[in-house]
Amino acid sequence: MRFISPKIDYAFKKIFASSQSQQILISFLNAIIYDGENIIQSLTIQNPYNPGQV
């Protein structure tokens, strides 16, 4: 089985930018920005192609 690198824009969006993976994105951001502290509790993912839609 072959995997797509998360460094590719399409793969990154599939991993982190769907409503089903919201907790994964929160954990990722807390780990990168706040050294693992649970500062970010929730977020809203907006459609980058149409910013008026969530």
pLDDT truncated to tens, each residue of the chain (54 aa)? 678 887 888 888 888 888 888 999 999 999 999 999 999 999 988 776 775 655
Domain that holds residue 23: 1-54
Q: What is the pTM of this model?
A: 0.70
Distance from C-alpha of 42 to C-alpha of 3, rounded to nearest angstrom: 29
Residues 6+ positions from 49 with CB-CB distance below 8 Å: none
pLDDT in the model for residue 38: 94
pLDDT in the model for residue 34: 95
pLDDT in the model for residue 5: 85
Tally of structural domains, the chain: 1
